[in-house]
Structure formats: structure tokens, C-alpha cells
Structure 1
Amino acid sequence: MLCQDSAFRLYLDRCRRHKFGLTEAQLPDGTHNEQDARDWICAACSIESRAELDHNLEAWQTFRAIRNRFNRWRARGGA
């Protein structure tokens, strides 16, 4: 469900801009779609499918950390 959240996709846009020193013109808000978010989560958690989060403790911990960082960003007014 996180991938369907437009605020999460905006978070990915802004994190990527910050990480690579890009301007909003180079990577505008709204660039990441649901598939991009899914692919990013799978890569970050080193999994092939989000279903693996149900039984891969290391992947789940990574996902939880991602979700927590996103929630802190949102709480600070990021979206």
C-alpha cells in the first residue's frame, strides 16, 4: 500500500533529488509512479517480491526503517 501513496512517491522524488544534487527541473515532483516505488522498495530490501517481507526478517527490518523515515518526513510537513 505504501507504493500507492502519492506522498511516498513524492518522498522518493525529493530523496533522489537530495541524494544526487538534482534540481526540481531535472527531477520534478511526480516523477516516481507506483511501479517505480515498488522497484525501489524491492531493491532497497534486496527482495524480488514484496511478499518476501512476510518471511524475510532482514528485508522486513529494512522496510520498517524506510517506512519510519518516510513517516518522520511526513510528520515534519514533507507532504
Structure 2
Amino acid sequence: MTQSTPSQTPPLPKGGVVARQAAMLCSDPAFQLYLDRRRRFKHNLTESQLPDGTHNAKDARDWLIAACNIESRAELDSNYHARQTFRMIRNRFNHWRAKQKGESQS
């Protein structure tokens, strides 16, 4: 008689360099502010409807994994399409941040 073992779910992939970059990005208050302002613009909301400071690190993480169509940031290191999406998001954020700095110096 053979023993049956309970089915196990495969372990989640361990995060590498890109996953760590994504974690740092999600914890960056400037990125969280970017998400606030991006959502306001996209949904035509006023600041009173969606004030700055609404998004936190968990919200940023949830948004990022949904945008990249993954289950975990750890997948960014092994999923080419998700990694490309992440890089595009990071580039757009960096462009926005540079623009914000330029406007504040004027």
C-alpha cells in the first residue's frame, strides 16, 4: 500500500534584485504620492475626494502586483513581461518626480 502525500503548493519564487527594487519603490513616500496624484488624474477626482497621503506601502504593493499581473513582487526577477512593466512604471515615476522637482525650483 502506498502512502499518499497531501498536495503541496509550489513555493513562491524568492525575490532577487528587481523584487528588492520594487519593495523599495513601494515604501517610497514619493511613489505613494505619485499613485495618489495618478489616481486623481485618471479618475478626475479632486484632492478632497482623494487627498495626498492616501496610498501607503501596502497599497503601492497591491497596485504594483496588479499592474504587473503577478502574485508577488518576487516574480519580477523571473517574469520578463512583468519586469518590463515594472521598469516602465519606475521610469514614468522617475520622470514625474524629476518634473515635480523642476516645478518646485521655479
> 1:77 deviation in Å?
1.2
Structure 1: 5+ residue runs without aligned partners?
none
Asked if residue 20 in structure 1 is aligned to residue 46 in structure 2, the reply is no
Q: TM-score, normalised by structure 2?
A: 0.73
Asked if residue 55 in structure 1 is aligned to residue 82 in structure 2, the reply is no
Q: Quick one: which amino acid aligns to residue 74 of structure 1? A: R
Q: TM-score, normalised by structure 1?
A: 0.97
What is the aligned partner in structure 2 of residue 7 from structure 1? 30
What is the aligned partner in structure 2 of residue 41 from structure 1? 64
Secondary structure of the residue aligned to 1:76 is: helix
Structure 2: 5+ residue runs without aligned partners?
1-23
Q: Quick one: which amino acid aligns to residue 77 of structure 2? A: D
Q: CA RMSD in A?
A: 1.2
| Count of aligned pairs | 79
Q: Quick one: which amino acid aligns to residue 56 of structure 2? A: N
Residues in 1 aligned to 2:68 and 2:100: alpha-carbon distance in whole angstroms = 26
